[in-house]
Structure 1
Amino acid sequence: MSRYLIAGLALIGLTNAVVLAGVVWNRQPPLDSRLHLSERELGTTATYWHEDNSGLALRLNYRWPSRVNDDLRYLPISAEKMSELGFEVPQTLTEQSVRRYRRQLSRDAVLVLELNGPAYEHEVALARTAHAEALRLQKAVPDSEKLQNARVSAANALEYEIQRASRLLVVDVGLDPQVLRARYPDRQRYALVHAVVQVQSNNVAAESTDLSQPSRWTWHLGGTASAPGMQRLNLPQHWHATFASLPVQEGASGIDYSSRYKRFSADLAFGRRLEPWFVEFTGPVTTKVQ
């Protein structure tokens, strides 16, 4: 029994040593990237709400670019890109070929996240355009309650985009981190993160001008990706008191923000293994309105 106990303890010690060695290696200079984030990009998890749990974790809030005109065919990753990532994409779309496509297992890849760059500016521009159109329509028919509600909704959406929405958007996905880093060299704007890519397919009605004919359905293939490692980013203990003392985010007019949103500024570093950790945490900060 003593031999089993010693072997078990040795295995635990070896496992911990390997993990710690990986952490040390990841944090050796040079850094792959370092992003200056706020509460907009770092959401709270349910962990710290439990008083009997001393852990405090944040999650990295990133998003895909908006759909184009609510196009139901839109998929975050195109079929062409999925083919580049090693998935078999059928040239002829049939029920059988689509089933084979959908049965493919997920694959590891690397996402490129852009902070407060052209992708986010495009999101703001879309919200401004939608608001301007809603305002124009409401002015044309001022007595329409439906259009009034649409105008208010568009105004709230614009305000949320400017004041609260994450400015971190997915702009690319690939297999080789070195190729992606060469394509996006700004290490204070672009972060590379490990991700898992999965196939997706949509079956939507084809557009037709002949209303007398029954709707024809067609398949659109593509995929999506997620970064599981970004869901729980542990904040070191020495910043817990700073977090607890932070003021809450003030709600913008017309929007009911939760009191859980605290205002802060944090620097997140990504190391050699593209694994993140906090290197700075302060608050509060003033969000710059664009």
Structure 2
Amino acid sequence: MKGARGYFLLVGLGLILLVNAIVLAGVAWNRQEPADSRLQLSERELSDGYGYGRRENSGIGLSLDYRWPSEEDDALYSGVSPEQMAVLGFWLPAERDEVSIRRYRRQQERDALLVLELDGPAYRREVQLAQAAHAEAQRLQQLAPDNRDLQRAARQAQERLLHEQHAASRLLVVDVGVDSEALRARYADRQRYAIVRAHVRPFAHRRERSGVEQGASQSRWQWQLGGHASSSGLARIHLPQRLHRLFDSLPRGGAYAQQEVERHTRLFTVELVFGRRLEPWIVDLQARTP
């Protein structure tokens, strides 16, 4: 009996060592040159979600903050488009009724690749949309200077514009696919575009159709189809131990911090590298002045 327990103990230890060796080999292979991309990011794109109450010797993980381009119409959701869902292999219903929508929603999630663009045309479009909304809010306020609702709307539009210009993430999803070589051929700048792994699952939402009067023959509701994308590997990117002391001493806040969380945000720049397996790691961190 004792011999059997010793045997199983040795087998268990061997499996643990084998798994660790495989993991370490994967990490080493991922970090071999040439890297797939190198991005220079700031606290706008990397947030410290574990900074409060952290003990000095515990690990530090930074979360990569990326977003989808805003919709110009009244759509309630921006994400993977129906056309992109078809490219990923999802079935799209020709007729959008309750039965077909249930079938669409029941499809299993699929692996996909997201293309993230840093401080490029997609981000400049977000700034332009915020500028246009601010200008319109100001115009309406000038028509009725004493209207408190319009005053509040103009003030909120200004705050959103400042947030967009100085605090919002400049990293936006600009494409979705399954072929990394094809995506890299379209987005060749490795210091502006990163390709990351993600999981996509179907999304369907019923929204009210604009421009349809009550009682009209056309249905008042329409289905909006698309997909949700998530990338668990970007939720906690390990900060090397050698950078912990510098991270804890970073300056906070900034001249344009609008919210309490922004006034307590550490200011920094980070070189983030995506390796052969498209997995990221932090190479360097520097303090940034407000």
Relative to the length of structure 2, the TM-score reads: 0.93
Q: Contact 2:63–2:237 (CA<8 Å) still a contact in 1?
A: yes
Q: Distance in 2 between matches of 1:263 and 1:192?
A: 25
Choose 271-280 or 214-223, whichever is displaced more: 214-223
Q: Deviations over 1:44-80 (max 9, x none)?
A: 12266322761111000100111223323x4411112
Unaligned runs of 5+ in 2: none
Other-structure match for 1:105 = 108
Question: For 1:21, which of 10, 25, 35 is the aligned residue?
Answer: 25
Q: CA distance change for structure 1 residues 24 and 254 in 2, over 3 Å: closer, same or farther?
A: closer
Q: Deviations over 1:18-45 (max 9, x none)?
A: 0000001001111100000000000012
Q: CA distance change for structure 1 residues 20 and 253 in 2, over 3 Å: closer, same or farther?
A: closer
Shift of 1:260: 3.2
- When the two chains are superposed, the root-mean-square deviation of aligned CA atoms in Å is 1.7
Q: Contact 1:75–1:200 (CA<8 Å) still a contact in 2?
A: no
Choose 82-91 or 43-52, whichever is displaced more: 43-52
Unaligned runs of 5+ in 1: none
Other-structure match for 1:172 = 175
Identity of aligned residues (%): 51
Question: For 1:43, which of 43, 47, 63 is the aligned residue?
Answer: 47
Other-structure match for 1:197 = 200
Other-structure match for 1:148 = 151
Matched, 1:54 2:20: no
Q: Deviations over 1:123-149 (max 9, x none)?
A: 000000000110111011101000000
Q: Contact 1:107–1:198 (CA<8 Å) still a contact in 2?
A: yes
Shift of 1:211: 3.8
Q: Contact 2:214–2:220 (CA<8 Å) still a contact in 1?
A: no
Other-structure match for 1:131 = 134
Other-structure match for 1:86 = 89
Q: Match of 1:201, SS?
A: strand
Q: Contact 1:250–1:257 (CA<8 Å) still a contact in 2?
A: no
Relative to the length of structure 1, the TM-score reads: 0.93
Question: For 2:236, which of 232, 235, 238 is the aligned residue?
Answer: 232
Q: Match of 1:129, SS?
A: helix
Q: Match of 1:178, SS?
A: helix
Shift of 1:267: 0.2
Give the aligned residue type for 1:6. Answer: L
Q: Contact 1:47–1:55 (CA<8 Å) still a contact in 2?
A: no
Q: CA distance change for structure 1 residues 266 and 35 in 2, over 3 Å: closer, same or farther?
A: same
Q: Contact 1:206–1:217 (CA<8 Å) still a contact in 2?
A: yes
Question: For 2:166, which of 153, 163, 184 is the aligned residue?
Answer: 163
Q: Match of 1:40, SS?
A: coil
Q: Distance in 1 between matches of 2:213 and 2:22?
A: 65
Q: Distance in 2 between matches of 1:89 and 1:81?
A: 11
Q: Deviations over 1:215-266 (max 9, x none)?
A: 6222121112111100000100000000011110225275444443000010
Q: Distance in 2 between matches of 1:12 and 1:268?
A: 30
Q: Match of 1:69, SS?
A: coil
Q: Match of 1:204, SS?
A: strand
